[in-house]
Every structure is written in C-alpha cells, then in structure tokens.
Structure 1
Amino acid sequence: MNPHPPRCHLSTLRSSHPTPSLHAAPPHTHTHTHTHTHTASAPSARWSSAASGQVSVDDVDLSCLGRRLRRPPILNGPMHPRPLVALLDGRDCTVEMPILKDVATVAFCDAQSTQEIHEKVLNEAVAALLYHTITLSRDDLEKFKGLRVIVRIGSGFDNVDIKAAAELGIAVCNVPAASVEETADTSLCLILNLYRRVTWLHQALREGTRASSVEQIREVASGAARIRGETLGIIGLGRVGQAVALRAKAFGFGVIFYDPYLPDGVERSLGLQRMATLQDLLIHSDCVSLHCSLNEHNHHLINDFTIKQMRQGAFLVNTSRGGLVDEKALAQALKEARIRGAALDVHETEPFSFSAGPLKDAPNLICTPHTSWYSEQASVEAREEAAREVRRAITGRIPDSLKNCVNKDYLMAASQWPSMEAATVHPELNGAAYRFPPGLINVAAAGGLPGAGGGVESMVTGTLAHGIAPVSHPPHAPSPKTEADRDNPSDQ
C-alpha cells in the first residue's frame, strides 16, 4: 500500500462499516485509488469537494462544529473552517459546488441508508442535501451530531421525519416548484395512455400481433375510449394539480377536484368544479388522478373501501406518492375489472419491480420508475435552488432566512430555538462581526481595517467580506402545513 496517498479533492463518503476505508480520487474523475483501508472488504468511500485547489482528507478539520443534540449555530467566517455540506444519496455535486464553494466544503455520500454514511459526515456535516432514495427517521437523524438543515431536492419530504428533526433542532426544507411542469405533463401522458391504449398497442405489435383487417383492429384496440366529455377527478389542487387541470381541459375533460385545504374561490378562477367530499369526487369521476402529499392522515387513501365508491370501470393515475394507494386492493380491483386501468409512477416499495409484490400479475397496468419529476432542466433547477437554500442557512439565521422551511412551526415550538434569537446569537457568527488577532490588525492598520491600531484587538463589523455578496432576505411567510403541500413532483 502506498504510504503517501495522492493529494486530491475531497470526493464522496460512503461506508457500510463502522470504520470505513477512505479512497481518494483525482479531481474531475470517478476513478478511485486506494489510499488507506482499515478492512479489505470495505466499500469505497469517495469525496467530492467544492473547495478550490487540492487538499487531502486529513487537511479538513471540522472539529470545531458542535456535537450536541442541542444544535449549535453554524460557524462561518475567516476564523472558522468552512462547514461541511453533504449530498446523502447522490454523487454528482457539479451543480451545487459553484453556489456553495466559497462558504462550505461539499461532499457526497452516494448512500441508501445512514449505515452507509461516513462517520465524518455524521459527526461534522451541518447541512444535508437529499433526493427521495434515502429515508431519515428519528433514529437516523440522531446519528448526525452537528446537522442544522436538511434540504430535499424536490417537493416531497415524506422521507424525512420533520417533527423529529425539529425536536432535534434541524430545519427541513424542500424545493416545491422545480418539477411542476414535468409532473403535470407525465400525469396527462399517463391519462391519455389509459384512454387511447398506446402502450398496449405498441406492446402488441412488438409481440407480433397483426392488425390487417377492421376486425383485427377492433380486437387489438379494444378498450380505447373517447376523451372529450369524460370527467377527470383531481385529488389535491396544489401546483401540479392545477397544472394537470389546465392541460386536461384543453383535451376536453370536464375537471372536478377535492381539496379541503384550498381556499374558497380558487375553483372559480380556474373554471373547475369543487367537490365537497372525497366520496363525491370518486362517484362522479371517470378518471381519478392523485396530486396530494403523503402524511399520517392519508396513507392508503385509495383502498378497498374507496375503490368500491369509484365508478365501475374508472381509471386511476398516481404520480404523487406510492403510499397513497393500497396496491393489494388495486391489484384485486384490476383483476375484477372494477378499475378499468391504472397508471402508477410511484409505488409503495421502491425501486419498483414487476417480479414481486401484489401488482406483478395485475392486468391493464402501466408502471414507470418514479421519473415523472425528471427532465434535465427541472433537475438542474431543483439542485440550484436546494444549494441556494443551504447557502441561506449558512450565511443567515435559521429558520428566518430559509425560503421553504416545511417544519418551521415545529421548530419555533421546540425548546432549542430560544438560543437562536438575535439577543443570544454570538456576534462572531455568520459575518456579523469578527474579532481578528493582534498580528493581523497590525498588518492591516496602515490602510484598511476600521479602528485598527498597534497591537490592540479590534472588532470589524459588517457583512463578511471574503467573496460573499450581501444578501437581503425577505420576510419569511408561514410555512404551509404538511397536508397543504400538495405539489409533489415525484423527484422526488
């Protein structure tokens, strides 16, 4: 083994062992070279850093960060090392780095559980970015010793226990708007597929079916239906629900919706019909499309009981969250033709496979692998906004400086937060004021630092001046309730 590992950028951190090995890779490459290992079988742990220049893993010392459950403020400035920000379930930080490189060190873990996250991240990360492929329960959150903010790259946040996070002093944020168009377009695509049976017709041709006569065409296209005049029922009229409604009207659907959290009058501005109860919507819909968040109140919203309230032969579409649908009940309804067809982009167990689970033998079913949120444009927009939210957390005050904090109400009620009020925030935090050592003041006294004098410590007030532009934070509106955030692109 080479006793002198190459100096390199930090790459990601990943391990499924208590004391994982560290593998460093040269900048801008995914080729991994062993530097030093504790166990021969340990999986590679890779780092990716936003800091300029080349540094070794051992050069990064973040020991000054707090390690208590009562979360300390984020230390940021010339007298402190850059805080550590970790992308938990991904390994590409190229979008985030330009936004965070002057205020933080960025690492990625490429983990599917906290057991795979390196101890350095668990001990020292102050901010975490994540997609939908990792879940953070209370037990998982308690493993992070210095974490102050979690930002979900997407709108859904049901994979994070936001109440437990608040009790631990951790703010949870999301990016609610980046994938609205993609999710709405995918939803309508699935609806059209169910009505016009494009997917099944394509598959029939792939399997060698011939349609050379009218009778053969009639047979292979059996079940295709006219769209104009049909009634689309939307459950949850958030951003995505509204976008789907506008698209569906253009195709000739009559659109109704059920949303107990939406203020009165919105239906009039959009030309929609509001249903007073979920049962009313199910009874009157030819196709039901789900666009609500998943929470403790609506798990298995579509179950055997509610399916029996739907019209005989109705369609079902879900691009929100898999837990909204009882897949066992859906499979039975498809086999009995109580539901004519279903299209699911999200599933109770992900990643989804037709080889197992209750849906493996279900007929008239279209499934996609939780991709309705994705386009290159939406992905970049979501990542950029998530990185900006982390930057606001580092350079501002949590939770006031955050734009999309989904557990602010819980945070403000938690006992940890009195220590974060302006009266008790240490003056050296976040660029408000920094105390420089006498030697530095002497050097600068001739020209620059206000009040600098021979060998006497001076206090420099004002905005941090190491490349961070002054940021003006607008007043933060009250965060929506969990139940009200219904625009969950499946990024999700």
Structure 2
Amino acid sequence: MARIVITRALPEAGIAALRRRHEVHVHDLGPHTGGDEDGLIAAAREAEALISMLDNPLTARVIEACPRLRVIAQYAVGYDNIDLEAARARGIVVTHTPGVLTDATADFTFALLLALARRLPEAERYVREGRFRRWETMLLLGMELRDKTLGIVGLGRIGAAVARRALAFGMRVVYHSRHRANPTVERMAAARYVSMDELLATSDVVSLHCPLNEQSRHLIDARALAKMKPTALLINTARGPVVDEAALVEALRAGRIAGAALDVYEREPEVHPGLLELDRVVLAPHLASATVETRTEMASMCARAVLAVLDGEEKIPYRLV
C-alpha cells in the first residue's frame, strides 16, 4: 500500500478508489493552517502520491524534501504553484484537472454578471434591512445584457463557454487572447477577435478567463481600467493577480468603471479592504467550480491519475509532466 497525502478534504465519492487500495491521509493545509513550505514538507515527506491544491507552495525545496514522491495530482486546472522543472528533474509525474470545471465556471461567471448588472446583492440587503415599502420607478436600476458587448480575455474552454451563454442573452462577443482561437471556436462562440485596447474601449462587460503568468499578472491595471467605459463592468473568475486590486478600488471610487464582480483575489484569501466598502462590487469566496458534480469529478480525476502512476501504467491521464 502506498502512502497518499491529500492537502484538503475532498468529496469522498471521488477518492473512494484510493481508500480501497492505499493508505490515504487527509490534511487541511492552506493559508494559516500549515500550508507554507514547512507545513507541506511535514505532511508529505513520506508520501508517494500527493493531491495538492492551488495554494500549496510546491517549490523545488518542497519537492526535494519528499524523496519518495512519484506523482503530484493537482486538484485544479491551474498549476503555477508547482515548480514543474523541479518535478521533471526528479521524474515526478504532475497532473491536473482540465476541462471538468468549464460549465460550472461559465455558469458562475454569468451568475456574477447578472448579480452585478441587476444589483442583486444591493437589492437583497435593501429587503433584509426592512427598507422595502413600495414599488419604486427609480429604485436600483440596473443594466440589461441584450445588445451589450461582452469582451472575453482568453477564449479557451471556459471563455468559449461563457461566449456561448452570452449569445442566449442577446450579447455581442469580442475577445482577445495571446493567440487567436481556431476559426471553428470563433464561429461556435460567435466571437470576433480584437486587440486588447479595442476590447477594453468597446466592451460593456469585460470578463477574465486567461491563465496566470508573467504576461497576465496585473493585466488589468490602472492603465487598462482607464481605457474602459465608465458604464462598464469587470468580472474575474480567472486568477486574482490578473487584476491590480488597488487600481481597481481607485477606479471604482472615481467612477471610471461602474462595477466589478470577483471570485478570486490578488492575495487570496485576503480581500482588499476597499472592495469590501463598495456597493457596486459582488464578492464570492472562490466558488466558480463549487458544484457537487464538478468537485466530485475533480477528485475522481486526481484519483485516476494517482492510481495510473502507482500501478505503473504507461498512459497517465491529465498529465502535465
């Protein structure tokens, strides 16, 4: 039996196959709970397999301190927390969970957009605080989505799924990516490729779906925000550091954009205090993939990858390294 370490509790249905065949240890490693390098080393030092989370710092130091480690299965699509070269040098397989959370994240993106555009959090507070006295003609007027332009930054799986949903709401779709999408993807999403400057200047809603890398870090900064319409909304379900939160707070306070909805944060789980003070901001605790179906399948994907490595299979599903 191999020792498998999981750094956060997962849906049991997804990891049942691991428990039947191996020794599984579940920890709670994250910010403020031993999720630093030392805490991770202490938990995983004897592990042959590690199922990790996006906030686990799998640095070269951590990887070198786990001499028995054969596979890292990341419970996420992103993997910028893992030193892939250090894993490759050690011959450690690294996998992730691509594709599985596309629909859940696209649905949640639209949930955030609708909540922000129709001022739902403000309306809910209005009712709960006992201020609803009668129907008012000018109360909490929002923005309709029909005939508005949605600008998608990153037309990958999730971005394309968001674009398809936008069509059902009667929106026009433009997009920008580092590399132009396949023409078939463009046709299915009815999305027109534009420069980043044009996207910012013409979009009524800017929705972020790009990976986090050196090029995308603070992609939405003061300069980018200044190019947006004063009536525009910003949605981020990608990665927190894509947005300069201090610049966003300043833009919102100054009325340079109309609102923002965020599911991820620059220094997660810390949220910029300025965001907490503003009404035209919708904030969620990283919930885009939070459906029973998606989170269970993500656990199953990690389990399948771990078992393939431990069983010595030649083809490893969802492999990065």
CA distance in 2, matches of 1:266, 1:135: 38
CA distance in 2, matches of 1:274, 1:260: 14
Q: Say if 1:227 and 1:117 are closer, same or farther in 2 by CA, change over 3 A.
A: closer
Structure 2 SS opposite 1:366: strand
CA distance in 1, matches of 2:73, 2:66: 15
Q: Say if 1:337 and 1:211 are closer, same or farther in 2 by CA, change over 3 A.
A: farther
Partner residue of 2:95 out of 173, 187, 205: 173
CA contact (8 A) 2:160 2:185 kept: no
Residue 90, structure 1, aligned to residue 9, structure 2: yes
Structure 2 SS opposite 1:234: strand
Most deviating of 254-263 and 170-179? 254-263
* Equivalent residue runs for 1:95-110 within 5 Å: 95-99=14-18, 101-102=20-21, 104-110=22-28
Give the drift of 1:271: 4.7
Partner residue of 1:193 out of 115, 123, 127: 115
* Equivalent residue runs for 1:41-190 within 5 Å: 82-90=1-9, 95-99=14-18, 101-102=20-21, 104-112=22-30, 113=35, 114-117=37-40, 119=42, 121-122=44-45, 124-190=46-112
Match of 2:292 in 1: 376
CA distance in 1, matches of 2:163, 2:11: 35
CA contact (8 A) 2:210 2:216 kept: no
Q: Say if 1:384 and 1:348 are closer, same or farther in 2 by CA, change over 3 A.
A: same
Give the drift of 1:203: 1.1
Most deviating of 308-317 and 126-135? 126-135
Give the drift of 1:155: 1.1
CA distance in 2, matches of 1:392, 1:261: 33
* Equivalent residue runs for 1:45-444 within 5 Å: 82-90=1-9, 95-99=14-18, 101-102=20-21, 104-112=22-30, 113=35, 114-117=37-40, 119=42, 121-122=44-45, 124-212=46-134, 214=136, 217-218=137-138, 220-222=139-141, 224-353=142-271, 357-396=273-312, 401-406=315-320, 408=321
CA distance in 2, matches of 1:334, 1:119: 43
CA contact (8 A) 2:123 2:140 kept: yes
CA contact (8 A) 1:190 1:343 kept: yes
Give the drift of 1:165: 2.5
Q: Give the letter aligned to residue 56 of structure 2.
A: I
Bigger radius of gyration: 1
Give the drift of 1:362: 3.4
CA contact (8 A) 1:93 1:106 kept: no
CA contact (8 A) 2:163 2:191 kept: no
Superposed structure 1 runs of 4+ greater than 4 Å apart: 91-94, 117-120
Q: Say if 1:119 and 1:93 are closer, same or farther in 2 by CA, change over 3 A.
A: farther
CA contact (8 A) 1:152 1:173 kept: yes
Compute the RMSD of aligned alpha carbons. 2.1
Q: Give the letter aligned to residue 390 of structure 1.
A: V
Q: Say if 1:197 and 1:358 are closer, same or farther in 2 by CA, change over 3 A.
A: closer
Higher helix proportion: 2
- 1:39-84 per-residue CA deviation (whole Å, 9 max, x = no partner) reads xxxxxxxxxxxxxxxxxxxxxxxxxxxxxxxxxxxxxxxxxxx222
Give the drift of 1:364: 0.9
Alignment: residue pair count: 316
CA contact (8 A) 1:258 1:275 kept: yes
Q: Give the letter aligned to residue 97 of structure 1.
A: A
CA distance in 1, matches of 2:98, 2:207: 19
Q: Give the letter aligned to residue 95 of structure 1.
A: G
Q: Say if 1:334 and 1:107 are closer, same or farther in 2 by CA, change over 3 A.
A: same
Q: Say if 1:271 and 1:347 are closer, same or farther in 2 by CA, change over 3 A.
A: closer
TM-score by length of 1: 0.60
CA distance in 2, matches of 1:197, 1:152: 36
Specify every segment of 5 or more residues in structure 1 that has no aligned partner in the other structure, as ranges. 1-81, 409-492
Q: Give the letter aligned to residue 16 of structure 2.
A: M
Most deviating of 361-370 and 153-162? 153-162
TM-score by length of 2: 0.90
CA contact (8 A) 1:137 1:161 kept: yes
Q: Say if 1:118 and 1:292 are closer, same or farther in 2 by CA, change over 3 A.
A: closer
CA contact (8 A) 2:18 2:24 kept: no
CA contact (8 A) 2:57 2:82 kept: yes
CA distance in 2, matches of 1:323, 1:169: 30
CA contact (8 A) 1:291 1:318 kept: yes
- 1:449-474 per-residue CA deviation (whole Å, 9 max, x = no partner) reads xxxxxxxxxxxxxxxxxxxxxxxxxx
Give the drift of 1:136: 1.9
